[in-house]
Structure 1
Amino acid sequence: MERQRPYPSDLSDARWQLLEPTFTAWRAERRGKGLDIGRPPEHDLRRIMDAILYVDRTGIPWRYLPHDFPPWETVYGYFAAWQKEGIFDQLNGLLRRLVREAEGRDAEPSACILDAQSIKTSANVPTAGQGIDAGKKIAGRKRHIGVDTLGLLLAVWVTAASISDNAGGIRLLSRIAAANPRVTKAWTDTGYRTKAIDHGAHLGIDVEVVQRDPGTKEFKVIPRRWVVERTFGWLMHHRRLARDYETHPHRSEAIIHIAMIDLISRRLTRESTLNWRDT
């Protein structure tokens, strides 16, 4: 079925030019190894990515994909393969470096901000993969993220909501240090305690806890911490992230990477992200 008109989530020509080399190289490498995951073998990679962005943006189940996209089994197969082989992580890093250079920054960051978000889960998420965040009284999962000073994703780890921010911070710092060796500074909230601070010091990262003014009762922007909180706000424009719908936590991490790819690619091409405020 030929599409009458594009969906708002579809990639523009300019955005596809940013992503196409990575996907084309991936397909060429699979061919070289004698591998392919589609039937027929030649599915249009742009249409596949459009379908994945449609799910991420609208929040629909994979089986409910409109029929003008490739079959949902094919789309999910590519999504799973790209997640497993690190393609979404690779694209996020590439686009982040382009944005930083466009903003007059060094391509590689030297500082980061850490935070966590507890989120409710859907009925298909196994009970064993969930937990309760006693402080926020939320049963579900927790998204631990680290961002640079522009709010662009550096690392993500999805766990049961019962996992402490401290444990998440230790994992994030290890991932950030391994992928971004120039990072020497991190800012956190008070949920990150001695173990995370000591682990950062071991990695050569100075972890500073930014505290809220105890005398302030009304809302007030907290230095440094507002950057990562804004990133969570950006992510929530994607309905697939309003809850955690993914059976496996590593698939949840991929959905977050896809949302950031969507946001960063629009930022590079100066295209707006439509939301309810624009209606």
Structure 2
Amino acid sequence: KNVVGEARISNGRKEQTSFIMIDSQSVKNTDTARDKRYDAGKKVSGIKRHIIVDTEGLPHGTLVTTADKIDRQGALDTITLHKDSLQNVEVVLVDGGYTGERFSLAVNNLVVFQKVCWR
């Protein structure tokens, strides 16, 4: 069952979203963890969670990587992994960490419009 789709319908929305937001979060994990690396930007040794949500805050995709994974590449990997459930997406909102021509071209091949939100 598509739990997110059911939740959207119960909130009076269409089952599939047309607007998503992508971000990541670097967090520490246990000292004995096999897969962990250092995120120099956040000064965290651990893992990074790449998350796709809609305007309701409902998750449409997640991917866990080592913390040294570049945000742009993690976002592209997450979109690619969950591409089947993101077929109706027209707009992607990202922060300033998701810039660059290569990222924009890749996202524009998957969706209609990308918006970068500068702080």
TM-score by length of 2: 0.91
Partner Cα distance (1:205, 1:169) in 2: 16
**C-alpha distance in 2 between matches for 1:96 and 1:178:** 14
- 44, 69, 90: which one aligns with 1:163: 69
Q: Find the partner of 2:98 among 179, 183, 192.
A: 192
Identity %: 30
Higher-RCO chain (CA-CA 8 Å, sequence separation at least 6):
2
Shift of 1:198: 1.2
1:139 maps to what in 2? 45
Q: Which amino acid aligns with 1:110?
A: S
SS of the counterpart of 1:173? Answer: helix
User: In structure 2, how many angstroms separate the alpha carbons of the residues matched to 1:160 and 1:190?
Assistant: 21
Structure 1: gaps of 5 or more residues:
1-90, 213-279
Structure 2, unpaired ranges of 5+? none
Q: How does 1:70-149 map to 2 (within 5 A)?
A: 94-126=2-34, 129-149=35-55
Q: What is the total number of aligned residue pairs between the two structures?
A: 118
1:187 CA drift (Å): 0.3
User: What is the alpha-carbon distance in structure 1 between the residues aligned to residue 32 and residue 94 of structure 2?
Assistant: 32
Across the aligned residues of Structure 1 and Structure 2, the Cα RMSD in angstroms comes to 1.3
Aligned twin of 2:111: 204
More strand by share: 2
Query: 1:141 touches 1:160 (CA, 8 Å); kept in 2?
Result: yes
Q: CA deviation at 1:205?
A: 3.5
What residue identity is the alignment partner of 1:161? A
- TM-score, normalised with respect to structure 1: 0.41
Runs (4+) off by over 4 Å: none
Higher Rg: 1
CA contact 1:169–1:196 (8 Å) conserved in 2:
no
Q: Counterparts of 1:38-53 in structure 2 under 5 Å?
A: none
Contact kept in structure 2, 1:177 and 1:183, CA below 8 Å? no
Structure-2 residue corresponding to 1:175: 81
Matched residue of 1:198: which SS?
Answer: helix
Aligned residue number for residue 73 of structure 1: none
Cα deviation 1:31-73 (Å, max 9, x = unaligned): xxxxxxxxxxxxxxxxxxxxxxxxxxxxxxxxxxxxxxxxxxx
